[in-house]
Amino acid sequence: MTWSDFTSLSPRQALNRLDSNQSGLIPSQASARLSRYGPNQVRSHQVLWQQILIRQFTSPFIYLLVSAAVVSGLLESLLDAGIILLFVFLNAALGFLQEYRSDRTLKTLQKYLQSYSLVKRAGQLVRIVSPNLVPGDILVLKPGDILPADVRFLSLSGLVLDESALTGESAPVGKTSAALKIIGLDMYQAQNIGFAGTSVVKGRAEAVVVATGTDSSFGQITSLAQSSDQVSAFTTDLTRFSRFVLRLVIATLVILFVAILILKGGSISPVSLLVFSIALAVSVVPEALPIVMTFSLSRGASRLAKNQVLVKKLTAIEDLGSIQVLCTDKTGTLTENHLSLAGTFSISASSPSVLAPLISPSGIVSLPRTDMS
């Protein structure tokens, strides 16, 4: 069952559907359900250090450099081959160290961000780690709590939630425990459902857990985001440049081979001509380019780290640096979660305090220090 199936049920019907009651589950029930449904946590994509290392060699430009090193080795230019491979491995080492360090830092932070929930178990209020929540648990909510799972409210008093983490809308949402006349299929219709990731602004409530982990709405959104492996603009541009260099190398090889063959005629051995053309074409490849790019991106990651920004992939830095204009919704969820009135420009001499209610019905607006009307 999904959360929408509980919107039209009364609190008693919801409890019966989950084989629970107002006193909460007994320990044996909770243990059995934990084994059945698994821990209440989103199964994040685990990245092994071997995967991070292999990722450093998957660039099309790296393929081109390795090919150049192989050709140089076949032509007995061992010094050239060694230098090219040295650049390849230095580039891989720099990228691996930066991404591996970021991955370890993120995992360490996740260990410290352990959350707890207040639930009823066998009629007693107990505080448990949120990953141990199971469907049917009775959750007790108070101001400041972040909902650890999708819940159906059983009883409440003036409950207001902040759902901006899920919907992007910062306006507080009032909730009810009454059954809806029709099944609420959309989140904005689910007035008696609390979603994982949202927080309690004010009021108190008791609710029964209906979905946990990846079965929750937040878990499904997170799983969908993790399943989409998007190619960054930096990788796309690098691939395009690699293809250009490859075409240039092939064109240079063909033109030189044909030109010298026409000019020299039979005075030069075809094998010697082929060796010379390939050696010259290999010299066109900019071996130091990957390590220069990785070093520049690593410098950017270090500067961002000083401002408490964790970079998981180095290629994301170039995408971030390409942003000229960032357009966001007016909800202000990226800032202080409320509107700020920077200034007013009007024909009449209306003060900011008069104009504020027109901008936000709640009147919760930061006013400017001076009136620019």
Query: What SS3 state is found at 73?
Result: helix
Residue 51 and residue 95: Cα distance in Å, rounded?
A: 12
**Confidence at residue 115, expressed as pLDDT on a 0 to 100 scale:** 82
CB 110 within 8 A of CB 128: no
**Confidence at residue 13, expressed as pLDDT on a 0 to 100 scale:** 92
More confident residue, 331 or 205: 205
**Confidence at residue 352, expressed as pLDDT on a 0 to 100 scale:** 57
Q: How confident is the model at residue 206 (pLDDT cuts 50, 70, 90)?
A: very high
**All structural domains of the chain with their residue ranges:** 3-40+133-224
Residue 148 and residue 41: Cα distance in Å, rounded?
A: 9
pLDDT mean over 89-116: 74
pLDDT mean over 294-304: 79
Residue 197 and residue 217: Cα distance in Å, rounded?
A: 9
**Confidence at residue 138, expressed as pLDDT on a 0 to 100 scale:** 94
User: Which single residue is written with the structure tokens 């004010």?
Assistant: 202
pLDDT tens string 157-183:
999 998 877 777 777 889 999 988 877
**Confidence at residue 363, expressed as pLDDT on a 0 to 100 scale:** 46
Q: What fold characterizes domain 3-40+133-224?
A: 2.70.150
pLDDT tens string 62-75:
877 787 788 778 77
Residue 70 and residue 282: Cα distance in Å, rounded?
A: 10
The model carries a pTM of 0.57
- Residues with catalytic function: 329
Residue 342 and residue 121: Cα distance in Å, rounded?
A: 50
**Confidence at residue 370, expressed as pLDDT on a 0 to 100 scale:** 46
Looking at the predicted structure, is the pLDDT value of residue 93 above 80?
Answer: yes
pLDDT tens string 24-55:
999 999 999 999 998 888 766 667 788 888 88
